Amino acid sequence: MTVENQNKINLSLISLSNYRDDDIGNFFPNQKTDSQPILSYLESGYKWIYYDVDNLYPQRLQKLADYSTIHKNSLIMKRDLCVGDGLFSNNLELEEFISANDLTETFKRCANDYVKFGGFSLQVTWSLNGSKIARIKHQNFSQVRIAKPDKLEIDGFYLSADWSRQRQNNRYAPKYIPAFNPITKQDAIDNHSGNQLFYYTDYDDSSDFYPKPDYQSCLTDLMTARLLKEFWKSNLQNGFFPTVHMHLPGSFTSDDKIELINDIERNLVGAINKPRLFVTAGGNKEDAAIIETIQNNGNDNMFLSMESSTNQNIISAHRLFSPVLASFPGSGSLGGNGNEIYIAMETFYNVTVTGYQNALLSGFNKIINFAGYSDKIKVKEPNIFQYVNNMTTKEPTI
């Protein structure tokens, strides 16, 4: 080890945390600070309209579902209550069409997309002679991008199973599909295997093409929830150890520093309890080494308060009316006042969920009408009491 520049202090931080923040900071890639995404971005040289500047906004919304338990549970409840006890019709032939096309499952997948992304899409296949709709199939909304229109009217879309790799792998090369339009069905039959895409979004005066989810106002809170999870996880892994400052006399070359770090990790740090270490070097090599602890600054209460505020903002954005609906402790938690939970769930269904239901049904019934049926499909209302009971016994997935 050399002893050059003995009076110069070299500061290194040995970070022994497993956490790597490789996606949170880039949720809004078009801005240096958190702000609204650019949902209709006209990137030159491409045939489709970008969904934010990196064209991956839906993919980032998918990640958010894992950032917060409250957010995930809210999406699941909305989806499941939208579907209720399944689709039905009083028309026997339409009932057979619902069963043959497995429309209840298709409706469920569209509901999943609608509550998560703010829109849903369906692939519609015409019969060979164009006299009727032969098949209705769910299309993953996150895989759809709008083709640049020649006029104001959207006339087509591009589909890719992975937009992040569409330029690196031909397997994910975007494929064109025309927009749903009975007038142009013959072109779809001749050139696109009879397929057209039905694309539904709510009207939004701030976006001409792509939708916003109705929980858009809590995106920053969802990212905060992720960071708070990592804060508690890091403290738990470290056994709530304080930060340790180690000062070593003398100076070190780059190779010496790497060797020192490896020695510390092998010999001084356990597999589970990982204290954070600051290592400084400098001064006379004859001096004694110094090891001192830097105690926790007492911000735990601040983080708890931030966590509570973040959770409440997520609950409000989802219009849950009561924290008990998100399995979040409140005056009537799932193990407490069952009547309060039932009333909150019923209110949530009638005020919030029926809006999603009506939008989904309007889209489906538009296609059903062109399929030759004058009757409409409906949703069997869910048994709210049974659904509340199932909340504590069923492991939901989304």
Assess whether 131 and 73 both reside in one domain.
no
User: What proportions of the chain, in percent to the nearest 5, are helix, strand and coil?
Assistant: 40, 15, 40
- Residue 250 included in any domain: no
Domain boundary among 212, 240, 264: 212
* Residue 380 clears pLDDT 60, i.e. is over it: yes
Residue 81 lies in a domain: yes
Rounded to whole angstroms, the Cα distance separating 385 from 315 reads: 21
Residue 309 lies in a domain: no
**Percent above pLDDT 90 for the chain:** 39
Same domain, yes or no: 339 and 398: yes
Q: What is the mean pLDDT of residues 69-83?
A: 92
Domains in the chain, number: 2
- The verdict on 176 and 97 lying in the same domain is no
For the segment 179-206, the average pLDDT, to the nearest whole number, is 92
- Is residue 219 domain-resident? no
pLDDT single digits (tens) 130-183:
888 999 999 999 999 999 887 778 899 999 999 998 887 788 999 999 999 999
Does 107 share its domain with 144? no
Examine the domain organization and report whether 91 and 126 are in the same domain: no
Say yes or no: 144 and 173 in one domain: yes
Tell me if 46 is assigned to some domain: no
Q: Is there a single domain that holds both residue 204 and residue 141?
A: yes
* Residues 177, 166 share a domain: yes
**Is 280 within the bounds of a domain?**
no
Q: Which residue, 212, 232, 254, sits at the end of a domain?
A: 212
Contact between 296 and 285 under an 8 Å Cβ cutoff? The reply is no
Residue bearing the bigger pLDDT, 396 or 216? 216
Which of the residue ranges 4-18, 60-74, 277-291 would you say has the lowest mean pLDDT?
Answer: 4-18
Residue 150: per-residue pLDDT: 78
Tell me whether residue 323 is in a domain. yes
Domain boundaries, position 80: 69-116+318-398
Specify the higher pLDDT residue, 121 or 37.
Answer: 121
> By mean pLDDT, which of 33-37, 256-260, 310-314 is the weakest?
33-37
Is there a domain that residue 334 lies in? yes
In this prediction, residues 77-94 reach a mean pLDDT of 94
Q: Residue 331 has what pLDDT?
A: 41
Domain stops at, among 174, 193, 212: 212
Calculate mean pLDDT across residues 299-307.
73
Alpha-carbon distances of 215 from 147, 212, 347, rounded to whole Å: 26, 8, 18
Cα gap 186→133, rounded to integer Å: 12
Please enumerate in sequence order all residues whose Cβ is within 8 A of that of 218, keeping only pairs 6 or more positions apart, or say none.
Answer: 71, 313, 314, 316, 317, 318
Model confidence at 110: pLDDT above 90: yes
pLDDT, tens digit, 9 for 90 and up, residues 227-241: 777 776 666 666 555
The model's pTM is: 0.76
Q: Are residues 128 and 105 in the same domain?
A: no
Would you state the pLDDT for residue 286? 72
Q: Indicate whether 327 and 387 sit together in one domain.
A: yes
Same domain? For 94 and 130 the reply is no
